[in-house]
Chains A and B, each alone.
Chain A
Amino acid sequence: MKVLVAVKRVIDYNVKVRVKPDNTGVDLANVKMAMNPFCEIAVEEAVRLKEKGVASEIVVVSIGPKAAQEQIRTALALGADRGIHIETDEEVQSLEAAKLLKAVVEKEEPKLVILGKQSIDSDNNQTGQMLAALTGMGQGTFASEVVVDGEKVNVTREVDGGLMTVALNLPAVVTTDLRLNEPRYASLPNIMKAKKKPLDAVSPADLGVEIAPRLSTLKVEAPAARQAGIKVADVAELVDKLKNEAKVI
């Protein structure tokens, strides 16, 4: 079974995000970039499926500037077999990302497509679901367990009230939640080996997709800063403040 994994290059989750003084976006100059944490979980899940003998080949795809090849190489070092880089310097929004991935799905015909549930930059939580709709596939979003069983996959999902399990016909789309697995680190020999794995570059035009954003960002601001309050000496003072000053109890 072939598995396609989509990964995104984003600001490293440890970096303190700063809004640009001209309010056009956040400052990405000279900040550390990395694979989106949810995408790391997606890669790990695919690698585990391969180790279990369920997956036969893992193809990793990323959309973005030239530098996104770093994240593809990381995925190859973690165990993916082959990379596809859809190269563009333009801002790609979820719907276009889904259309680009659809073109890849049509060409590669994977049985399972695994994506992160959201990227920690735009926090949209859309691409996997849109891809599933465009390709007519079922979806298991916010997955905490994925079990392939013949022509079906059972996905346990983290939902507001607890957990919910759905069975999907294959091919299907899965989006990962935090507790699906704990991603491994790439070993040095595997990082070296990854450099030799195949990586194809294509353009959105090659895939017949026009990048035409539907959403425009008018401005980006820093959130209203919360002021640190006071330290209370003990629990009695805390309860007194809550009751008589803040009046919330």
Chain B
Amino acid sequence: MSILVIAEHDNSSLKQATLNVVAAAKAIGGDIDVLVAGENVGAVAEAAAKAEGVNKVLVADNAAYGHFLAENLGELVAEVGKGYSHILAAAGTTGKDFMPRVAALLDVAQVSDIVRVESDDTFVRPIYAGNAIATVKASDAIKVITVRPTGFDPVAAEGGSASVEQLDVVKDAGLSSFVGEEKAQSDRPDLASAGIVISGGRGMQNGDNFKMLEQVADLMGAAVGASRAAVDAGFVPNDMQVGQTGKIVAPQLYIAVGISGAIQHLAGMSDSKVIVAINKDEEAPIFQVADYGLVADLFEAVPQLEEELKKVL
């Protein structure tokens, strides 16, 4: 068995999700190579070479991959990956974008969003917004898989000493080009891998009120998330959405503030270790999954929470 893991990164640093995907690859078993495709990715390749369990790092460093355009990455990964038994990437928006192209180019099925490995061809994945858990067996010779990072504890970032090999495969499909981006800048931890997440919903009423959550988040070193309703209403940007169609999080502590607990929201956070809900409606479904529920007006409870936390942290 030989497994190719596609690194998740931003051209300057390796994302933790890569370490979760390597963990999934270890669960499958076999030699693990990591492909780093991007532009000026020397530092990323070095970091990938240090990850535990990695055999070899392949580097495709070219402007064609600088913005992770799916058309170019798809061709590259299909070509490099065709010699492997498994091709794995994190189920973030980059992996979800290019991996199905890889599968189609190789004429194989893709198994999306796996949370567990049963054997080298059998995987477990949530369907129906996590209301059902399917065990699926893939019959193709090459298994193309996206991995939900929260399903696997990351391998150690240090300690490995993989060799690094430069590839000179340049695939520019000429179908698409990068125009621009709006990236949210934040000093807070990354939502998808933060140990504590505090999320606000429609009950927050406006974007300004999210400052209350940010202050609490900064006390605890938490990331700030949101429900779809809060994003749709324009309170906060789209990349903060937690749920079936947003980010999947599984922190040690998830605090839902003014969120009712629709199944689509629960799909993104119900694997959190401890869930706290603050909601003024004691019938809100979020209380059915909360370990600690506080029935209260958030505009009183959140400032109090900040004060109480200051006493103990």
Q: Do A and B bind each other?
A: yes
Residues of A within 8 A of B27 (CB): none
Q: Are B175 and A168 in contact (CB under 8 A)?
A: yes
Which residues does chain A contribute within 8 Å of B96, judged by CB atoms?
Answer: 125, 129, 141-142
> What chain B residues lie within 8 Å of A193 (beta carbons)?
none
The closest CB in chain B to the CB of A236 belongs to B308
* Docked CA distance A51–B118 (Å): 50
Asked whether, in the complex, the Cβ of B94 is within 8 Å of the Cβ of A159, the reply is: yes
From the candidates B108, B179, B275, name the one contacting A167 in the complex (CB within 8 A). Answer: B179
Instruction: Enumerate chain B residues within 8 angstroms of A158, measured Cβ to Cβ.
Output: 93, 238-239
Interface check B135, CB cutoff 8 A: yes
A216–B308 Cα gap in the complex (Å)? 52
Bound: A157/B176 CA distance, A: 13
Would you list which residues of chain A between 219 and 247 have a CB under 8 Å from chain B? 219-223, 226, 228-232, 234-236, 238-239, 241-243, 246
Residues of B near A125 (CB, < 8 A) are 96, 100, 112-113
- A96 nearest in chain B by CB position: B109
Bound CA span A223–B239, Å = 26
Interface size on B, residues (CB 8 A): 94
Please report which residues of chain B, range 82-141, place their CB below 8 angstroms from some CB of chain A when the two chains form the complex. Answer: 92-94, 96-105, 107-113, 122, 126-140
A120 at interface, CB cutoff 8 A: yes
Interfacial chain A residues near B157, Cβ < 8 Å:
none
Q: What 0/1 pattern do residues 200 to 244 of B give for CB contact below 8 A with A?
A: 000000000000000000001000000010011000011100001
Looking at the complex, which one of A154, A214, A235 makes contact with B138 (CB distance below 8 Å)?
Answer: A214
When distances are taken between beta carbons in the complex, the residues of chain B under 8 Å from A219 are: 134-135
A interface SS class = mixed
Contact of A161 among B110, B184, B290, B304 (CB under 8 A): B184
* Chain B interface SS verdict (over half): mixed
Interface stretch among B18-26, B53-61, B292-300? B292-300
- B35 part of interface (Cβ distance < 8 Å): no
**Which residues on A sit within 8 Å (CB–CB) of B309?**
239, 249
A141 to chain B: which residues have CB within 8 Å? Answer: 70, 93, 96-97
Interface residue? A248 (CB, 8 A): yes
Per the bound structure, the CA–CA distance linking A228 and B183 in Å amounts to: 37
Interface residue? B305 (CB, 8 A): yes
Q: Which residue of B lies closest to A153 (CB)?
A: B176
Q: Which residues of A contact B99 (CB under 8 A)?
A: 129
Contact partner of B103 among A118, A130, A142, A157, CB < 8 A? A130
Whole-angstrom CA separation of A150 from B196 in the bound complex: 47
CB within 8 Å of B: which A124-143 residues: 124-134, 136-139, 141-142
Q: Are the CB atoms of B239 and A161 closer together than 8 Å? A: yes
User: Quick check: is B159 within 8 A (CB to CB) of the other chain?
Assistant: no
Known: A220-B133, A239-B308, A248-B274. A165 touches B181 (CB 8 A): yes
Verify if A11 is at the interface (C-beta below 8 Å from B). yes
A88 within 8 A of B: no
Q: CB < 8 Å: which of B104, B110, B291 contacts A229? A: B291
| Chain A hits for B111, CB < 8 A | 215
* A95 CB → nearest B CB, Å: 5
**Cα distance A221–B116 when bound, in Å?**
14
Q: Does A217 contact B (CB under 8 A)?
A: yes
Contact of B1 with A by CB under 8 A: no
* A164 contacts chain B at the CB level, 8 A cutoff: yes
A160 touches B92 (CB 8 A): yes
**Nearest CB in chain B: distance from A140 CB, A:** 8
Q: Does A179 sit at the interface, judged by CB under 8 A? A: yes
Q: How far is the CA of A169 from the CA of B173 in the complex (A)?
A: 11
Contacts of B109 in A (CB 8 A): 93-95, 213-215
- Contact pattern, A 141-177, Cβ under 8 Å of B = 1, otherwise 0: 1101000000000100111111111111100100001
A123 interfacial contact with B, CB 8 Å = yes
Alpha-carbon distance A130/B110, docked complex (angstroms): 10
B282 CB → nearest A CB, Å: 8
Of the listed stretches B44-52, B163-171, B245-253, name the one at the interface; the rest are far from the partner chain: B245-253
A-B contact pairs, 13 of them (CB 8 A): A19-B132, A26-B127, A125-B96, A129-B97, A142-B96, A158-B238, A163-B182, A164-B180, A165-B179, A214-B140, A215-B137, A232-B292, A249-B253
Interface residues of B (CB under 8 A from A): 10, 67, 69-71, 74, 92-94, 96-105, 107-113, 122, 126-140, 173-184, 192, 196, 220, 228, 231-232, 237-239, 244-245, 247, 252-253, 263-264, 270, 273-276, 282, 287-296, 301, 304-305, 308-309, 311-313
Q: Which 3 A-B pairs have the closest CB atoms?
A: A138-B175, A229-B291, A129-B100
Instruction: State the A residues within 8 Å of B (CB).
Output: 11, 13, 16-17, 19, 26, 93-95, 98, 117-118, 120-134, 136-139, 141-142, 144, 154, 157-169, 172, 177-179, 213-223, 226, 228-232, 234-236, 238-239, 241-243, 246, 248-249
Extra 5 A-B pairs, beta carbons < 8 Å, given A26-B131, A160-B247, A214-B108 = A129-B99, A129-B104, A137-B175, A228-B289, A235-B308
